[in-house]
Structure 1
Amino acid sequence: MPSILELSIMLLALLGAGVVVMIFRRGSAGPEATPQLAPSRDRAPAAMPAGPGKHAVVELHPGVPLTEQLRHHATEAELQGLRPYVEFGAGWCPPSRMFGEILSDPRMIAALAGTYLLRADIDAFAEDPLLRTLRVSAVPVFFELDAEGRATGRSITGGAWGADTVDNMAAAMTKFMA
């Protein structure tokens, strides 16, 4: 059952209070709250005009099912005129770590323009059924999401950029997120 703080934050988000950072407390939702997520064939929502280079990067936290978090953030992305994506990575994976370290690089900022990127550590969500549904078996892996937070069927892995360099990563992300 959500805490009063979580309910208050959700209410503020629904009332259009702008960007709300939700604090998810470990163990706040039971397994009965975990809906199944089938990949969607719909494309991600078209972005409304957003300022040059505008994007958002949000770290997801365990305690609330991934499907619930993806749905919430896909709605937030739509409100901001951004296209939602999710990355599954791991702290022990060199390409995942490097990707996180270069998010502030101008080339990556340009590559992520118009996007709302959700980042989730597969070890933190190891028991979440969405990882099995999406067949996450390699990291990093990126999925395009639709307006309801469902995978559209488009995805790439870190293999898309070859050698782990900023230029290679930015080029692959630009192409995938176009």
Structure 2
Amino acid sequence: MNLRTLTAARRAPAPRPAAARRAVVTALETCALLLAEDVSVVKSSQDVRDLRLRLRLHQKHLGSVAGSRPAQPRLSGLVETARRSAAQAPPDRLGEAQAYLRQLAEEVQAVVVEMGRCGLVCVHPRECPPAHAPDQAAARIRTVLPDIGCRLLCNGVFSFDDTGVLADGRVYPPRRTVPTGPR
């Protein structure tokens, strides 16, 4: 695989508007709250209604962000599964409703994880710097490509082993250090 093929085949991250990042962060917070083993936030039927509404809104926002990109079959399937689950009425019994909400939270969380894997959004607790930022190399590694000696970062930047960088369609040459002292 050469650099031209790699550049053409890469999935560039979508622009990360604040609304998309906010949707991811709040969805992850809600999912973490519902999936925590030691905490039961569902104590009444009103809690069930509120949390179901919140998860439905997360699913809707994430679906709109995911729908802004070309078709990703796995992501589309996860979004559709979460949409169908969110459309179902929760069970009347509290224990069954808790299980329903946990399942829905797991499905929403799976959508977020897949969006991160596809490069649509940064799912890290602290958002990775964008490709055009001076500290672009501080982004987390998404994929290691040892056969060509580079890493694909969360922000869509290719960082090569020789310190060269491919970012925003531009190639930045390696940074060479000048040896000092006697030879």
Q: TM-score range by the shorter chain?
A: under 0.3
Larger radius of gyration between Structure 1 and Structure 2? 2
* Structure with more of its chain in strand, by fraction: 1
Considering Cα pairs closer than 8 Å and 6+ residues apart, tell me whether 1 or 2 has the greater RCO.
1
* Structure with more of its chain in helix, by fraction: 2
Q: If the length of structure 1 is used for normalisation, what is the TM-score?
A: 0.23
